[in-house]
Copies of this chain bind each other. A is one copy, B any other.
Amino acid sequence: MGKVNHVDTDADKVLNVSEKDVQKHFDSLAKMGNLGPSLDDGFLRAAWSDEESQAFEYIKNEAESAGLTARYDGIGNLFIRTPARKNDKKVVQVGSHIDTVPEGGNYDGAAGIVAGLEAIKAVHSSGIMTCKSIELVIWRGEESATFNAAYKGSKGAFGKSFKGDKGDILKNEFRGKTLEQAITEQGFDPSYFREQKPTINQEYIDNIFAHIELHIEQARKLETDKISIGIITSIRGYDRYRITVAGEFDHSGATPMGTEYRKDANLAIAYMQVEIDKLGRKYAKLGNDLVQTIGEINSNHELNKQHGIYNNAITKVSGIGYFSLDIRSNNQNFKEAYVNEAKKLIKRLAKSKKVDIEILPMSSDNPTENLDEKIREIIACSCDRLSYSYQPMSSGAGHDAAIVAQQMRSDGAYVPVGMLFIPCRAGISHNKMEFAKTEDVVKGANVLVNTIYELAK
């Protein structure tokens, strides 16, 4: 934290976005995928759903009305641009997503899109012709809660693999529909995923001068510390697994307790969960960056349709079960070592509880250990000029920006990426109580517009 020296712009011009328009966008988006009459009913704008597409079209129309150009790529990501001075193909990008988890809120992702749209509009309407183009990218389907994979739009755009065989991700289902069906129904082309064919080619990547994402914090540090802007230094990577447990069904009244008699899937899962919890907290206490979560136990809608899980009953020793495990760290070496230790622990407990297990990798992403320092500096400068408080922080959640940060230019350097966080109420996200104040989004958008202006001019 602290003041960073900066070179003033020619006019030392400070740009500001329109609070009225920011509010208008949230009010409009609040009608798209809302699960009831009020914000508190939560949202579902699933990846490649009618609701997500409706939100995309809304942003496209707003951008075009403001004189910006807009185009979809082959898988439905939306690119909105201001024109650049001739002969400079470089682009300063702002990006985020607009989909939600089931019963999510109107701010995770959407805040970055609303702020990005108003930032790019503010530069455009200022009449200044920047050297570089400025682009807002709205990625499709960032949330892994739909179709079991995260960053679907951004990874798809860069032709990245989704762990497992080529095209496999297209078979993933959400509420009875495969990803392939969903993409096709929205008028886009699933073959990009099947063939790992990028929509953003190497020349395009070489021209990304900088990429910035604004996001709600999804934790409560900014709110607690009364700070307006978090400048992100690293983004956690993750490893996700599904662990299936096979015990043996037995009569709950006639079978004595203990592993001499019972192979109890539920009990084995409980011991695994408690021991993993203790292991994780031990390492976190030692100062390692780590969060781990068992978010699903026997509660995946798609799995439960086929899985024999309903053969469990009150009066049976449970013969079957499964759980998810999400392990995150901003340190790749530590993450790898920890994942191995957690797997060993699970295997050891399976043996002692007499159950059979399978540890199935679901998805994985490396941390972004260091976000671009120059961009961090420019964000800090922008905060200073606007007199907003700020502090450096690590991002616990993953973001599309981390996917962009993994893209290598032809010269061997990675695309420079920056991120800024704004506070959200009580740190809550992925929840229908998720909320961010319009004034906080406006502050973020003001930092964003001055940062991209500085980068693009």
Residues of A within 8 A of B (CB): 101-103, 143-145, 148, 150, 217-219, 236, 238, 240, 248-258, 261, 264, 266-267, 269-271, 273-274, 277, 280-281, 284, 290-301, 304, 308-319, 321, 323-324, 326, 328, 362, 395-398, 427-431
Q: Pick the 9 closest A-B CB pairs, nearest first.
A: A254-B396, A218-B254, A270-B273, A252-B293, A253-B397, A145-B313, A249-B431, A314-B324, A218-B251
How many copies of the polypeptide does the oligomer hold? 2
Contact status of A313 and B102, CB under 8 A, knowing A269-B270, A295-B266: yes
Q: Which residue, A240, A270, A294, A300, has most C-beta atoms of chain B within 10 A?
A: A270
A213 CB to closest chain B CB (Å) equals 14
Nearest B residue to A241 via CB reads B314
Q: When chains A and B are docked, how far (Å) is the Cα of A157 from the Cα of B310?
A: 29
A145 neighbours in B (Cβ, 8 Å)? 313-316
Q: Are B293 and A281 in contact (CB under 8 A)?
A: no
The majority secondary structure among interface residues of chain A is: loop
A288 CB to closest chain B CB (Å) equals 11
A269 CB to closest chain B CB (Å) equals 7
Q: When chains A and B are docked, how far (Å) is the Cα of A328 from the Cα of B292?
A: 36
Q: Are A429 and B324 in contact (CB under 8 A)?
A: no
Q: Are B257 and A292 in contact (CB under 8 A)?
A: yes
Q: When chains A and B are docked, how far (Å) is the Cα of A102 from the Cα of B321?
A: 16
A293 CB to closest chain B CB (Å) equals 4
Contact status of A253 and B396, CB under 8 A, knowing A274-B270, A294-B318: yes
Q: When chains A and B are docked, how far (Å) is the Cα of A249 from the Cα of B426?
A: 12
